[in-house]
A = this chain, B = another copy of it.
Amino acid sequence: MRKISDSTVRRLALYLRFLEQSTAQGLTTISSADLAHRGGTTSAQVRKDLSFFGSFGKRGLGYSVPELAGRIRDILGLKRSHRVVLVGAGKMGGALLHYRGFRQHGFDFAAIYDRDPKKIGSHWNGLVVRDIRHLEADLKREPTDIAIVVTPAEAAQDVADRLVRAGVKAILNFAPVQLVVPLDVTVQSVNMALELETLSFALANR
């Protein structure tokens, strides 16, 4: 398979979201123009994105919604569920734990960790907050490939190091710091203040 860029992967995930909504609405076919509209791109780009994965769709008839959704799920590795651990039992951690989009796509929260004795042992959306000291031992027993880091900036790199040593291969990072990880580990960062700063820049430079 050819190398697929990050931006293609992100568009595929957007197309999938749209295909799922189309399924819910009872639609069976969809045009590249509709997908393009939803993905914020052009029909030509949609056809190019999908061409990575062989031939899809019939000219004039559009794409079969269930077939295309299945192929994209396959490409994105979503035909299996993923165990996810969350580190950081703050307000944002709590909101993520309740975020419906995760479970819908097969991401199951298996554990939540904190180092605050006041939080450890409390119940969060059906999970008991665990002591971060047990992270390595737990992950040895319960292999997990995805972790979400929602700690303060100063704690995030240490937590990431421990997750990586415990075998985690993918980290979604909400701490406002660039994590340093080995080449075989993937990090995606969500930095909310930075998103607002990008908007501030746009407002200042219109």
User: Which A residues contact B (CB, under 8 angstroms)?
Assistant: 1, 4, 6, 9-10, 12-14, 16-17, 21, 37-40, 75-78, 82, 84, 90-92, 94-96, 98-99, 101-102, 104-105, 107, 145-146, 153, 169-172, 176-178, 180, 184, 186, 188, 190-206
Q: Copy number of this protein in the oligomer? A: 2
Contact assessment for A196 and B40 in the assembled complex, using a CB-CB cutoff below 8 Å: no
CB distance from A204 to the nearest CB of B (A): 3
- State the majority secondary structure of interface residues on A: helix
CB-contact partner of A199 in B172, B191, B195, B200, under 8 A: B172
Contact assessment for B186 and A146 in the assembled complex, using a CB-CB cutoff below 8 Å: no
Residues of B within 8 A of A146 (CB): 196, 199-200, 203
Residues of B within 8 A of A76 (CB): 197, 200-201, 204
* Contacts beyond the supplied A40-B180, A90-B95: 9 A-B pairs with Cβ under 8 Å: A12-B201, A13-B193, A38-B178, A77-B204, A102-B196, A171-B199, A172-B192, A188-B198, A190-B195
